[in-house]
Structure 1
Amino acid sequence: MDLTLDLTHRSVLVIGGAHAARRSIARYRAAGAAVHLVTESPAPSAAKAVEWPRSADGWRGLLSTMDLVVLVGATPAIDTTIAALATELRLWLTRERAAATGPVGHVTLVGGGPGDEGLMTVAALRALRDADIVYFDRLGPHDRLADWAPGAEFVDVGKLPGHHAVPQAEIERMIVASALAGQTVVRLKGGDPFVFGRGGEEVLACRVAGVPVSVISGVSSAIAAPAIAGIPVTHRELSRMFTVVSGHAPFTDEQLAHLVGLGGTIVVLMGIGTLPQLSAGLARHGMDAAMPVAIIERAFTDSQRTTVASIGTVVDSSAQAGIRSPAVIVIGEVVRLAHDADVAAVELLDHAARLAR
């Protein structure tokens, strides 16, 4: 279905089972069409029920009153009959895949990326298109959900720092309950579901309840936010590894020592609240006070801002700048590649190469 076509007040005939055709019906209703359903097995539906014609003339008369015909999981015989009549009547005809019709639905965890809808994957958009209900977070792209999942129900389960309006256990209960009711569920999350997104917990909840579940990966802000600020997380002869950590809770001394010992680039998500403890701990375990640090706030929004400092100055700099979540912290020499001029970057690489010899 092409939702760019103006279907307002147009008559659309959907041919198929009420449950199997529910997503098609929802999409066309959301597009403003008057939707009629003809099915051999009457069942409650959001579309106006039409009696199943018993002859070719009956089909011809019905189709002649429509602007568009939609076949959902039609048998070969019905497909052949309707296609011939649509050609005869010069009527638009489209075929659509039937929605899941089992007693238990399906849950798909979808990574929505860092907030830019252009970074949504094709698989993510396909899953949304087939969804009966979408549970979404505040950091995932959701402004155009009505376009991506027309006719679906939308439930905001987003969390704010220090305030979880819907507890994680309740989110898991809700998505499982929707699937057990036979619905096709999309759990839309920011970034990637398995990068500090508690996706693993939601997958386990589905498995325990016997609900089929799948995961669609998303672009993680751990890589995308530094990239849009011009910072590569790795760079030849400068950083051969990067470590992604959650700053949600303070680090232990052992963890801090390991981070310093690993070298490379450190990317911290959800780390603004623990930044003073992190910077002081890294310095205490031997990190150079001049090590550059970048903080990218609200990446991929109109208010995106990058603050560059060093391990020794980042706490004061962040306080002066009034930095707030959501933000991604990048620690490492790669920060200079975006912050300094090209000549300075070349000198930095030459210095790194000399040290490696």
Structure 2
Amino acid sequence: MGKVYLVGAGPGDPELITVKGVKAIEQSDVILYDRLVNPELLNYAKDKAELIYCGKRPDQHTLTQETINALLCKFAHQGKVVTRLKGGDPFIFGRGGEEAEILKENGIPFEIVPGITSGSAAPAYAGIPLTHRDYSSSVSFVSGVSKTAESEEAYWKNLAQGSDTLCIYMGVKKLPDICERLIRHGRDSNTPVALIHWGTTDKQQTVTGTLANIVTRAHAFKNPSMIIIGEVVGLREKIQWFENASLEKTKIAQAVIG
């Protein structure tokens, strides 16, 4: 019997993977990796390691979850060391819990290697602290689509009246509906909002606004993007750093070329 590592690859910056995550990649015979995994991380793999792309876009899956589950079991039963390399953290909207259940049911040894989730990393790179003594004492990581038995209306009503800061995954497509529901259920329409596209990577872009106008301002933004809602977004004007640093690097490079 082999072994499976469910590894969080982090939010995009390849330096944000954990040391334990790198060690799992280095010793694996097979690596099944997702679309949002930085391809630079695959350079840690052994020369003969089998690399299998499992990328998922909205409404378009290269491999179904059932197929991925079957492959994990198949390779482990062949006595191979397997890394399931997932963007962010495997247990935060990464379906790692489902994969762990399947492995347990099939008697396959496994380990969970946590990763840095984009819900905390993307706003950090955008200069937005999720909590702050003066603005936010609570934060919720939220899916843009409710898969529970709870109705959509009740789901957003609870969120509107809940945490000071909301970090919404997979919500860009439903942004107009999200803003409308939050306002209708009592969230101030002037509440600051940020969308962060490809957070922590050299493609990172951030747009800010309010619940009342962010839909217009962020009309060109697509997935992968994190939505951050709360007063802490206003701190970006003071402490944004990553995009400023990237812009400065570009200016220096252009000056050298010129």
Q: Tell me if TM exceeds 0.5.
A: yes
Alignment of 1:1-357 (within 5 A): 104-249=1-146, 252-319=152-219, 322-339=220-237
By how many angstroms is 1:341 displaced?
Answer: 8.2
* CA contact 1:133–1:152 (8 Å) conserved in 2: yes
By how many angstroms is 1:150 displaced?
Answer: 3.5
* CA contact 1:136–1:142 (8 Å) conserved in 2: no
By how many angstroms is 1:268 displaced?
Answer: 0.2
By how many angstroms is 1:115 displaced?
Answer: 1.1
% of aligned pairs identical?
38
CA distance in 1, matches of 2:215, 2:225: 14
Aligned pair in 2 of structure 1 residues 126, 279: CA closer, same or farther (>3 Å)? same
Deviations 1:179-229 (A, max 9, x none): 001100000000000000000110011111111111000001000000000
Deviations 1:80-129 (A, max 9, x none): xxxxxxxxxxxxxxxxxxxxxxxx10001000000111101000011111
* CA contact 1:248–1:273 (8 Å) conserved in 2: no
Deviations 1:252-274 (A, max 9, x none): 22121211211410000111011
Deviations 1:307-346 (A, max 9, x none): 0010001111121xx111000000000000113589xxxx
The higher relative CO (CA closer than 8 Å, separation ≥ 6) is in 2
CA distance in 2, matches of 1:196, 1:123: 21
CA distance in 2, matches of 1:221, 1:263: 18
By how many angstroms is 1:237 displaced?
Answer: 2.5
* CA contact 2:22–2:44 (8 Å) conserved in 1: no
Q: What letter is aligned with 2:73?
A: V
Q: Which runs of 5+ in 1 are unaligned?
A: 1-103, 343-357
Please say which of residues 222-231 and 310-319 is displaced more in the overlay: 310-319
* CA contact 1:110–1:217 (8 Å) conserved in 2: yes
Q: What letter is aligned with 2:6?
A: L
* Coordinate RMSD, CA, aligned: 1.6
CA distance in 2, matches of 1:263, 1:167: 34
TM-score by length of 2: 0.88
Aligned pair in 2 of structure 1 residues 341, 132: CA closer, same or farther (>3 Å)? closer
CA distance in 2, matches of 1:219, 1:323: 23
Q: What letter is aligned with 2:69?
A: E
By how many angstroms is 1:146 displaced?
Answer: 3.1
For 1:262, what is the secondary structure of its paired residue? coil
Please say which of residues 219-228 and 241-250 is displaced more in the overlay: 241-250
For 2:39, what is the secondary structure of its paired residue? coil
By how many angstroms is 1:141 displaced?
Answer: 2.1
By how many angstroms is 1:135 displaced?
Answer: 0.3
Aligned pair in 2 of structure 1 residues 214, 341: CA closer, same or farther (>3 Å)? closer
Q: Which runs of 5+ in 2 are unaligned?
A: 241-258
For 1:258, what is the secondary structure of its paired residue? helix
For 1:273, what is the secondary structure of its paired residue? helix
For 2:15, what is the secondary structure of its paired residue? helix
